[in-house]
Each structure stands twice: as C-alpha cells, then as structure tokens.
Structure 1
Amino acid sequence: MRGLFVALISSALLSGCASTPQDPSGTWVNQAVIDAAVDDGNLREALLAYGPNLEWQIDSQRQQARFSNGFERGEGTFERQADGHLSVHFQGDFHESLSVTDGELLQAQSDAWPEQRFVRVAAAADPIAPLGSSFEHALYSAYLGGTWLIKEGLGEGGLVVFQADGGLQGLPGAERYALCLAGDCAAMSGEFDSLWLQLGDQGQSWLFEREGNQLRIFQALNRSQIDEVPNFYKGQQRWLLVKR
C-alpha cells in the first residue's frame, strides 16, 4: 500500500511539472536567418527564406510582446491559452500565436507571416537599446566578426574589424556600418545585399558580396531619374577583404 501511495504522489508531481508552461520572458532572435547567411553568404536570401521577423521581446509580468523585422516594430498584449500558447493582440485586430517548445519560441503561421522560430539570447537586452539590436549584434558578430585583411582597394594591406555594435575599424573613410535588413534600403538595392558606411555625419550605401572568407564591396550606382526612388546596381569594386 505504501508503495502504491508513493507511486501515485510521484505520478501527480511529474504530471504537474509536465503541464507547467515555460516562461517565455526574454529576448528571442531568429537564429535561422543568421545561420543561413553565414553558411551561404547571401544575407538577402536568408532573410527571405527565414524571416521576416527578426526579434521578439516577451515580458510575462506585464503580458507584453514586441517584435522587430528590421524595419517595422510592433507591440501588443497577450493572453495565455489553455494549451499554453500565447495569443498576442495588436492594434487593428491583428493577432499572432506564440509558443515555447524545446527551448525555441515558435511563431505560428498566420495570414501575415509564415511559421518562424527563435532562440532566447543568454544576456538580457539593454533596456535603452532599440528593439532589434540583439538580433543585429548576433548577426554582425557571426556574419562579419573577426579580422579582415584589405586585399585590394584603398588601404591595401591594412586590417579591418566590424564590431557587433556597428563600429568599424581600419576601413578608410568609414567608422560606422549597418547591414540592410528590410525597408527602403532593401527595396532600393533589389537583388543585391547592401550596407551603409558612415564617417561622422556623412554616409552612403554600398553593395556587397560575401562568399566564404571573401567580402567584396562595390559602388552603388543609381539607374533611376533624380525624381524617382533610387534603384541601385553594382558599380566598380572598391574593396576586396579576406578574413584572416
């Protein structure tokens, strides 16, 4: 009898643990986009294949959920359903369904988005950092991290470091950079990957190709008329960088 009692108690405890939903609080990034970009080199194709949303921030205490796709940001409130899923409500009667399974945040397929998966970042997001910056830092570190040698172009023989926070060292004429993820810059660069290089208050768009340990940066030439939205195409190569 005593053994049966212990077995029943153990079963009840295990059942209770299994039914306890995981706390989704924290910052979640679209690691699939990062992995695909690193493996294949083409950032634009990775974003199209595994995006468009890049980061979620969940606050269970306030029942708030925020997302960024690199251009738009949304903030809503959620209710936990009987099955443990989070039903997120946004202005304009817009809804999303989120759930945590095996350590991943799953955004269910909807009328607006395909199914997307996210992993939680280890460090808490800086409360004053813009929404989406955790994804950008992870992408910049994985995609452009390390030291690059200027093989061809201005500053040949020098070393270049792309920092996770957008800082840039060693590339002549630039001290900041930003990869194009979505929005107007993506529309203007069409089939090409693009980045922004800036020195002081001045900056401009460039097109690039990343293949293996090589990074080629090209002038972005505009085929549109002066009163039209820019439409960039690849001009002369300005730099060839090789990762050391």
Structure 2
Amino acid sequence: MRHSLPALALLALLSGCASHNDRDPGGTWVNQQAIDDAVKTGNLRKALLADGPNLEWKIDSKAGEATFSNGFELGEGTFKPGPGKGQWQVDIYGSGQETLSLSGNELTQAATDSGPEQTFARPAAQPEGELPPGAAFERQLYGAFMGGNWKIVDGQGSGATVTFGADGQVTGLPGLDRYALCLGGDCAAMSGEYDSLWLERQKVGNAYIFRRDGKRLEILEAVNTAGADEMPSFQPGARRWLLQR
C-alpha cells in the first residue's frame, strides 16, 4: 500500500510528537541559567537569587524517585506521571508538590505559590558513578565560573599560575589545596550581599570574600563584625590576592 507524500509527512509529524512527549526525563539536570548569568555578570550571589532557588534535579524515573538541591539543603520525593501530557509530579516528603515537564532540551519546573518557574538543562556530560545530589551543578558552575588558568599579580606567590578545578581542588595558591564557592545557607547569611568562598588545606581553612570582574578575581579577607554571641557577619577586609586570567 502506498501513502501520498502529505500523508507520510503527517505520520512523521505525529510520530515525532509522540516520541517527544514520551521521553524519559531520568538523569541529572542543572540550573544552567544561573551559571550563565553568574559568568556574564561576575556576581554569583545575585545570579543564584535571580535564577534559583533550585540548582539541580536528579530523577530516577525507574525507581520513581526525585531529588533536588538548592545549594545547602536537599528535597526528596516520589516521582510519577502528572495530570497533563508530558508532565510529571514530584511529591516532596513533608513539603508539597512540584510539577515538571520537558520542552525541547529543557526541563521546566512549574511556578507555585512558593517559587517561580525554573528551567534546567542536561550538564555537558552526565555524571559518572554516584555523585551526591548537587555535585553536578557545582562541577558545571566551578568549571564555567572559576575554570582556566589564573596568574597571581598581587599577593603571596606573585607570578604563580593558579588553577581552580571543577572538583574543588585548587593548585598554585600558597598553602591551599581545596576551595568551595558559597551557594546558600549559613555561609550566604554570614556574607550577606558579598560573594564568598572557602579556602583550605588538609580540611583546615577560612572564609574569604571575593569579587570577580571579567578576567579579574580579587580575594579578600572576611572580617567578622558581629559580637561574640552573634552569628558571624562578614565584611570585605584587606586584599590577599589579585588574580588575572
């Protein structure tokens, strides 16, 4: 039996729609918009506030489970088909429900009374092995925001090359071997409007304030202006390093 060309085109279109709606959203999704805005503006805190609160979804569709991370806490729930075509629902244990859908290459989290609509993208490479929730977003952010080679132009070790790894390792900063960017929680409350990071060696370290302007990265001491019985409140202090990429 032969089909006319218009009929074949219609069948192909319907087939494409069906396969699109039946796609499995399982895997890891990251808030790429927050990463792009952080890189573009140089201000991580503002980007996370504008494009958050959730930074990553991890979906196990076969097990019917989903986890999200907002940078300092996790939410877990059951994952199941939603009421609409191409929709899924996540019943968060003890805190309501989220609706997810696929549009092109984006996973959309619908707006609710407690949060705005958000979009998520597959990371450049799906994580290998079992990474903890939130780790895929961190690696994608660290690679984009801190990646590349930086040169110390002012501060201890002047002239050395510094590399911030996507896995949280840092080389070239004297006496330090790991770093972590503040994404939320207590560290964000303590640093307020300022971007902050943690620098350490062998699990002993300190918080610092940083300013990133294009290819220029300034790392400053974090001065605690709070009283002894209060939560620390950090303000920018003396500059420790000025790096140029």
1-structure distance, mates of 2:173, 2:188: 23
Provide Cα deviations, 1:55-101, integer angstroms capped at 9, x if missing partner: 11112111211110111111111221242211110112510000010
The reply on whether 1:185 has 2:218 as its aligned counterpart is no
The 5 Å alignment of 1:1-244 reads 2-3=2-3, 11-12=10-11, 14-20=13-19, 21=21, 22-81=23-82, 82-243=84-245
**What TM-score comes out, normalization by structure 1 length?**
0.94
Distance 1:174 1:7, change over 3 A: same
**Residue identity matched to 2:17:** A
Deviation at 1:126, TM superposition (A): 3.5
Q: Deviations over 1:143-167 (max 9, x none)?
A: 0101001000011111100000000
How many residues in Structure 1 have an aligned counterpart in Structure 2? 242
CA distance in 2, matches of 1:109, 1:76: 18
Q: What secondary structure, in the 3-state scheme, does the structure 2 residue paired with 1:117 have?
A: strand
Segments of structure 1 that go 5 or more residues without pairing to the other structure are none
User: How many Å separate the matches in 1 of 2:32 and 2:166?
Assistant: 16
The CA RMSD measured in Å over matched residues stands at 1.7
8 Å contact kept, 2:123–2:140: no
Q: Which amino acid aligns with 1:60?
A: S
Q: CA deviation at 1:130?
A: 1.3
TM-score (norm 2): 0.93
TM-aligned CA deviation for residue 12 of structure 1 = 4.7
Supply the AA of the counterpart residue of 2:56: E
Counterparts of 1:134 and 1:169 in 2: how far apart (Å)?
21
Change (3 A) 1:188 1:18: same
- Residues in 1 aligned to 2:43 and 2:122: alpha-carbon distance in whole angstroms: 24
Percent sequence identity is: 50
Residue 103 of structure 1 deviates from its aligned partner by 0.7
